[in-house]
Copies of this chain bind each other. A is one copy, B any other.
Amino acid sequence: MDASNFQQRGILVALSSPSGAGKTTLTRRLLEHSPNFMLSVSVTTRSPRPGEGEGRDYYFKSRETFEKMKEADDFLEWAKVFGNYYGTLQQPVMAALEEGRDVLFDIDWQGTQQLTQKMGEDMISIFILPPSMGELEQRLYRRSQDEESTILDRMSKAVGEISHWAEYDYVLVNEDLDKTLHKILAIIQAEKLKKSRQLGLETFVKGLMEFV
């Protein structure tokens, strides 16, 4: 019997970074690598961008629907950012935890703060830093055909996001995607080996002791 066979409680992982630090790629690769993870899909009132799919990138809702859901306490956390609502549904997260599944949140510092307050010990938070701001700027340029003003705007948002690094449990500098992915996997593996998350341990040790 391996520890990995124990009844386990799922783990909630918040992954934050400024735009351009590699979070989207890391999220995708983490999900490919760890079938036990599901991605938490947020609800938003903003309009879908080209290529975004309902239920894959977001659940797109009207402002009225969002506000009703908010009143019905459907959200673990929600925030209003630049006039649009964003929220994390409560029900799928609770169900995943009880089934021993893990949930990944691709979320900003505000969402992470609220989730950490609400979910306590179930939650771990990881912040991804770029190796340098020059690198970040280049990635934002390469990625888009934006006007310089938009890049500057994104850079200033990046600084705002980075300013919250110290609120996270783990902080990683993403210089190399493979190395960073393996660091994240090591963090998750270690967190799952914590005594407090291995619900089946007590029964296992009782079984050990009965032998004698």
Contacts and interface: CB of A to CB of B under 8 A. Distances in A.
Interface of A: 1-3, 127, 129-134, 155-156, 159, 162-163, 165-166, 168-173, 175-176, 179, 183, 185-187, 189-191, 193-195, 198, 201-202, 204-205, 208-209, 211-212
Contact of A162 (B179, B194, B209): B209
Contact of A195 (B1, B155, B166, B185): B166
Contacts of A209: 133, 159, 162-163
Given A193-B187, A212-B133, A172 B3 contact: yes
Given A205-B129, A208-B129, A209-B162, A172 B193 contact: yes
B3 A173 contact: yes
26 contacts: A1-B131, A1-B132, A1-B175, A2-B131, A2-B173, A2-B176, A3-B171, A127-B195, A129-B204, A132-B211, A159-B212, A162-B205, A163-B209, A165-B201, A166-B202, A168-B195, A169-B195, A170-B193, A170-B194, A171-B198, A171-B201, A172-B193, A173-B204, A186-B189, A186-B193, A187-B190
Given A134-B211, A155-B212, A2 B193 contact: no
Task: Please tell me how many copies of the chain the complex holds.
Answer: 2
Contacts of A159: 209, 212
B193 A183 contact: yes
A2 B185 CA distance: 17
Contacts of A132: 1, 208, 211
Contacts of A193: 170-172, 183, 186-187
Interface-central residue, A171, A190, A191, by most chain B CB under 10 Å: A190
Contacts of A189: 183, 186-187, 190
B130 A208 contact: yes
A209 to B, nearest CB: 6
Contacts of A175: 1-2
Contact of A133 (B163, B170, B208): B208
